[in-house]
Structure 1
Amino acid sequence: MIAAWPTEALWLLTGAAAFAAGVLNAIAGGGSFLTFPALVFAGVPPLAANATSAMAVSPGYLGSVLGFRSELRSLPRALLQSEVSIAAVGGLIGAGLLLITPERVFAGLVPWLLLLATALFAAGPWLAKRQGGQGQAAWRLPGLMAVAIYGGYFNGGLGILLMALYTLTGEGRLNTVNALKNLNSFVLSLLSVAAFAVAGAIVWPQAVWMMALATAGGWLGARVAKRLPARWVRGLVIGTGLIMSGVFFYRA
């Protein structure tokens, strides 16, 4: 099936998937669901496709971070430094686990994690209002470590998990949630893909091509996200989470 496709068409497919993934990651998360299957369809083995996909979408997070500069500047520097450090450590731990653990063991948990994260994100505003934001911040950093490990191991659904975490820990400003999600996604992805590169798990020609387009998509997505009504962005996140959960349940 793959051989019937011209090489140029496969490069166009992976490039389009990377650009769309950058846009989607900036707005809602879930971009790896586009890049990973595109790479597999183009003939990249699944494990290498997973590592290459993580490499491809990581610069897109940088483009998104630049689009949310004002939101990040309004946050305490100490908070950003602590969260970036945790994201970096968690990303390295997750990448290490991927390189030493059979992928199918963790893959069985992925659809359940995605479904739980989507449900938590959907219920986040109600829970935050009901609890008054008290006591939730205590598990913000431990929760970030757990999500960062997940993201370093399997990037799919990372944005949705981060948005669920920040919503449940009392962050009510959706643009700020998006800014923090993109910043920490960029940091943990950068460290995890460095580990993949050292291990020789990345297919570089596709990775470089997709990185450039994902960065452009991330910049565009950040601009679009800031202009969309909050309820539209929230609906897109929930819809993406439900679709991804269904697909991964089907694949399991």
Structure 2
Amino acid sequence: MSDFLILILSGLLAGAMNALAGGGSFVTLPALMAAGVPSVMANASSTVALYPGGAASALVYRNGLAPVCGVRAGPMLSVTLAGGLAGALLLLWTPTSIFDRVLPWLLLVATLMLAFGPRLGAILRARLPAGSGAVLAVQALLGLYGGYFGGAVGLMMIAAWSLLTGADVKTLNPPRTLMVTAANTAAVLCFAVAGAVHWPATLLTGAGALAGGYLGAHLGRRLPPGLVWAVTLIIAIGMTAMFFMRAYR
């Protein structure tokens, strides 16, 4: 299969995955590396390539936005943008080898929160009600992570929010898509200015992601919440296992 087709198809699949649950970067990152893009540049290029698809999904979901854990979208958006900018600058200034070792464990925590979040969240909410300050602090850290690496940041947002609220995954999809796009906006600007993007491969992957994100968002609005949750959990488990193999093989 040619690099052209690999990049287009990986973008299409990743865009749909991000619209439904997240995790599309795990498809585009190895595809870009298989096309000969160096790993650090592939990471930055993957973020840029998936940005249009995420923006298209956010456009589709715009009418479904609601407060997250009782916090309005405005403050959540502000801290996510700030976190994304800080994370992108951190990536450009520091090596990623240490973070690559930590990443699988972060994904494992996110997967466990996603799997047991509703049950555990009900217990924690009864004993430790989360205020807006705590929610914004968590969101700032998620934005930082999104700007620095971004892999499964959408899954981690849903996992964290599921722990703090009783809303189902389908309800959380609109704000999740917007916040991921916000974190990526800061990262994309930093990567472009720093010359860390392989533009030919990025444009091909991004074209597929744009179509996949738009179609996936429409599909996500029609699927039952239980099915969306199950698909999200399967993707989270698969991504966690693959990142463990990638880091410790």
Counterpart residue number, 1:243: 238
Counterpart residue number, 1:70: 63
Separation (CA, whole Å) in 1 of partners of 2:3 and 2:169:
36
Paired amino acid for 2:138: G
Separation (CA, whole Å) in 2 of partners of 1:226 and 1:137:
29
Is 235-244 or 130-139 further displaced after alignment? 130-139
Counterpart residue number, 1:215: 210
Paired amino acid for 1:206: A
Determine helix, strand or coil for the equivalent of 1:108: helix
RMSD across aligned positions (CA): 1.8
**In the alignment, which of 76, 85, 92 is matched to residue 92 of structure 1?**
85
Separation (CA, whole Å) in 1 of partners of 2:241 and 2:35:
23
Is 210-219 or 111-120 further displaced after alignment? 210-219
Does residue 53 (structure 1) correspond to residue 46 (structure 2)? The answer is yes
TM-superposed deviation, 1:137 = 4.1
CA contact (8 A) 1:171 1:177 kept: no
* TM-score, normalization by structure 2: 0.93
Is 57-66 or 107-116 further displaced after alignment? 57-66
CA contact (8 A) 1:71 1:175 kept: no
Paired amino acid for 2:11: A
Is 237-246 or 134-143 further displaced after alignment? 134-143
Identity of aligned residues (%): 38
CA contact (8 A) 2:15 2:209 kept: yes
Separation (CA, whole Å) in 1 of partners of 2:166 and 2:4:
40
Counterpart residue number, 1:109: 102
**In the alignment, which of 15, 23, 28 is matched to residue 30 of structure 1?**
23
Determine helix, strand or coil for the equivalent of 1:29: coil
Separation (CA, whole Å) in 1 of partners of 2:116 and 2:162:
9
How many pairs does the alignment contain?
Answer: 244
TM-superposed deviation, 1:171 = 4.7
CA contact (8 A) 1:140 1:165 kept: no
CA contact (8 A) 1:91 1:151 kept: yes
Determine helix, strand or coil for the equivalent of 1:187: helix
TM-superposed deviation, 1:176 = 2.8
**In the alignment, which of 138, 154, 157 is matched to residue 159 of structure 1?**
154
Is 34-43 or 96-105 further displaced after alignment? 96-105
* TM-score, normalization by structure 1: 0.91
Residues 66-108 of structure 1 deviation map (CA, whole Å, 9 limit, x = unaligned): 2212211x549x8111111111111111111111111111110
Paired amino acid for 2:162: T
TM-superposed deviation, 1:200 = 0.5
Q: Which runs of 5+ in 1 are unaligned?
A: none
Q: Which runs of 5+ in 2 are unaligned?
A: none
Equivalent positions of 1:59-208 (< 5 A) are 59-72=52-65, 74-75=66-67, 79-132=72-125, 135-138=129-132, 139-208=134-203
Separation (CA, whole Å) in 1 of partners of 2:160 and 2:185:
21
Residues 93-131 of structure 1 deviation map (CA, whole Å, 9 limit, x = unaligned): 111111111111111011000010010011111123334
CA contact (8 A) 1:36 1:50 kept: yes
CA contact (8 A) 2:170 2:228 kept: no
